[in-house]
Amino acid sequence: MDKNGQLLTFAYLVVFFIGMMFGLESIMPLFFKSLGVSIIDWGILAFLFTLGMLFFEMIWGILSDKFGKSKLIVGGLLASAIVTLAYVAPFSLYLFLGLQVLRGVFNVMSTPSTRMLISELSSPKNLAFALGLWFSAMRLGSTVGSLFFSYVAQECSYAIAFGSCSTLLFIIGLIALIVLRRSEFLLRSEVGNMGKLETRGTSTRQALGEISKASSVYAIFFCAVVGFLQMSMIRTIVPLFASEILGASTFLVGLNQAEFTGFSVVFFLLSGLLADKIGKKTTVTIGFTALLFSAIAFSMTTDFYQLSASTILSSFGFSLVAPSLLALLVSSIPGKVLGASVGIYGSIENLGITIAPLMFTLIWSSWGLQYVFYICGIIQAIGIIFALTLEKT
């Protein structure tokens, strides 16, 4: 394997550990529930976490163009390790409100840079597959993280789960520091076949200007919000649904979250192959149809097995939508604004993630849990309509 291939493999390994970090989300609702936090308060805490992601992923993408991908990748891993360890502190609402914001800010510090790195090191004709593999690596890490951290939380304590996650992030951060520093010349000179050598010094205005020229950009952005809104619902509402309504244990909740992320490891690869074969527009449309039916299935769920089936169907739909939308955008923009553009698009994804916790916890508290799934289904139906307006590629 040449140096380009070695660096690409390492990039996917880093993405795997970032995914493990996000595997903590499977126990977060139960962690705060164990501290006596109400449904509404949990919605606010989850909202603040996603709010940090929303505003800062775009900023990190722009800074990666200016300062380089290596610094952002290493900095994100080490900063996330520190913030994650702080969750072992005694509970204070104000402290944890702040930690939620910081965790959101630093958890997405590495994601635009890893996406950009993989895009640069991959062949343009295999871009959808390469980005699908990025999502697969992320979801594989999330699957392992969900199972591991939920088991540790149930058998030991939440504090040990947070501590073990922090240790893993710190170790991979140090390894990334060494590997990426040694590969600095390659990062500057071998930027694949997409002409990304001009990525330094991008302004937000320049990036927004280039993105606005992309085909179907507004439909792409809307579809991203809709798709990630349902993903956020799976992450924030379904664990409490499984625990409070279906009586699932902490490990079973983690297992359900691992089903969503684990099956998507395969589904993301399928998505890349489908997008390259039948077109990204068709793949996105099929994905939103699956998300619609999964929302309907959740509304009729009465036991853990039905919950698993609904979750797997949702995983299939989301896995078709996410990488195809990103590939549509990346293939439409020039390399000189790639980092900023990927960061801005990441913030658009995070907008859907941010809206979901407050909206769905308010709906649950006001009208009942069933209406969460009804309204989510209606939103996915609108997503199908917008998907049909995408550029046929």
pLDDT digits (tens, 9 = 90+) for 112-125: 889 888 877 777 66
Q: What tokens appear for 264 in the block?
A: 């998507």
CA-nearest of 81, 111, 99 to 31 is 99
Q: Is the pLDDT of residue 227 over 60?
A: yes
Residue predicted with more confidence, 14 or 124: 14
Collapsing DSSP states into helix, strand and coil, what is residue 68? coil
In terms of residue numbers, what domain contains 151? Answer: 3-190+204-387
Nearest to 51 by CA among 351, 359, 322: 351
Q: Which of 327, 369, 359 is nearest to 345 (CA)?
A: 327
In a domain, 196, yes or no: no
Check pLDDT > 80 for residue 314.
yes
Question: Is 50 exceeded by the pLDDT of residue 88?
Answer: yes
Rounded distance between C-alpha atoms, residue 196 and residue 189, angstroms: 9
Query: Which of 51-65, 172-186, 261-275, 364-378 reaches the highest mean pLDDT?
Result: 364-378
CB 117 within 8 A of CB 69: yes
Structure-block tokens of residue 33: 């529930």
Angle between helices 280-299 and 250-278 (to 10 degrees): 150
CA distance 90 to 256: 28
Structural domain contains residue 66: yes
Residue 9 domain-assigned (yes or no): yes
The token duo for 368 is 């009942």
* Integer Rg of the chain from CA: 20
Determine the pLDDT at residue 393.
67
CA gap 41, 38 in Å, rounded: 5
CA 131 to centroid of chain Cα atoms: 13
User: How many domains does the structure of the chain reveal?
Assistant: 1
- Is the residue at 95 inside a domain? yes
**198 domain-assigned:** no
Distance set, CA 179 to CA 9, 72, 243, 287 (Å): 12, 14, 42, 37
Report yes or no on 102 lying in a domain: yes
pLDDT at 195 over 80: no
Average pLDDT in the chain: 87
Contact 273, 133 (CB under 8 A): no
Give the residue-averaged pLDDT of 235-247.
93
pLDDT at position 129 is 75
Query: Which pTM value belongs to this model?
Result: 0.80
Give the residue with greater pLDDT, 2 vs 40.
Answer: 40
Computed from CA positions of residues 31, 99, 365, 371, in that sequence, does the dihedral angle turn out positive or negative?
negative
- Mean pLDDT to the nearest integer, 151-175: 96
User: Which CATH number is 157's domain given?
Assistant: 1.20.1250.20
Task: Give yes or no for residue 8 having a pLDDT over 90.
Answer: no
Matching residue, tokens 């304590």: 157
